[in-house]
Amino acid sequence: MRNPIPGTAITITDLAARLGAPFEGQGDVIVSKAAEPQDAGEGDLALAMSPKFAPALAQSRASAAVLWQGADWQSFGLKAAILVSRGRLAMAGVTATFDPGLGLAPGVHPTAVIDPSAQIGIGAAIGPLTVIGAGARIGKNARIAAQVSIGAGVTIGDDALIHPGVKIGARATIGDRLIAQPGGVIGADGFSFVTQEKSAVEEARESLGETVEAAGQAWMRIASVGSVVIGDDVELGANVTIDQGTIRATRIGDGCKLDNQVHIGHNVVVGRHCLLCGQVGIAGSTVIGDFCVMGGQAGAADNLTIGAGAIIGAGTGVLSNVPKGKAMMGYPAVAMQTHVEMYKALRRLPRLIGKLRGDG
């Protein structure tokens, strides 16, 4: 079935087909937007995929609902219901159906500045005050909002959705179906500096701090002449920053999802279908395998390898290599179960010390 135009009304029959789920009742009922049960009115689709929402649904005036399997939908006064086994999966299809998008019509806004050598794909929409540099190539049906900056030589695939204020530096290569939320920066220079002689930082790393002296030196900049390469179906949250490589490219694999304020340092390689939550930071030249997950405010030091399928808990500091498939937590990162035991032991310390002192 062809997908409906986002933001338009749809019948229960068509929506159920889109979700791949059965429906009961009147398939010709039309719904125009989704709503939480307590807020749903006539013509709305109530989302109540768990029995815990039954009391709110009973007070609703919704025409139809998405419900848990086995629900007695008629008892809620509904005309129709779609019954799903995985509520969150159904939510993805429902929200995609009713997403109104950015409202950008195909064409180039008169205030946009596009270099004559840039190539704009068929059906693309270029918003107000957007700048596209020399030799850039924008794929078909791209939707680029206001005040976006796209540098020289950038390639962006088909069906991109780029929100206001995104900045894409020169020579970046981006696959199909990119989604970039407001304020992101792709292709800034990496944070690379060197001193004339061996620095205190290098000495500290080699000696573990034994021979560090107070004297310092001026830092000289190492230019970033690499690029950024991003695969297909990547989503970047608000204010994501991805540095370009020093010599080779910084790479983000197909299907990766980066949350708000994630920072990817120069030369980092992120594998396919990784999930990096808010404020994750990856230092330069670290390699992350496929299907990894990093919780909010987790960080990884430079030049490490995090194996495929690893799960890094929120707030974890990864200071050494992580084997594939390991779940890690804490600072420094240890196996998740070990961290839980350490935390339990830490909470018991005051009582144990009191016993040693003979208190109470």
Is 266 designated active site?
yes
> DSSP states of 166-185 as a string?
-EE-TT-EE-TT-EE-TT-E
Structural contact between residues 135 and 153, judged by C-beta atoms closer than 8 angstroms: yes
Q: Report the sign of the C-alpha dihedral through residues 164, 166, 170, 175, in that order.
A: negative
Cα distance between residue 224 and residue 278, in whole Å: 26
For the chain, the straight-line distance linking the first and the last C-alpha, in angstroms and rounded, comes to 73
Cα distance between residue 176 and residue 19, in whole Å: 23
Which of 263, 266, 273, 339 is an active site residue? 266
Buried b / exposed e over 8-35, threshold 16 CB at 10 Å, is eebbbbbbbebbebebbbebebebeebb
Question: What residues are paired with 290 via a beta bridge?
Answer: none
Q: What burial class does residue 100 get, using C-beta atoms within 10 Å of its C-beta: 0-12 exposed, 13-18 middle, 19+ buried? A: exposed
Active site members? 266
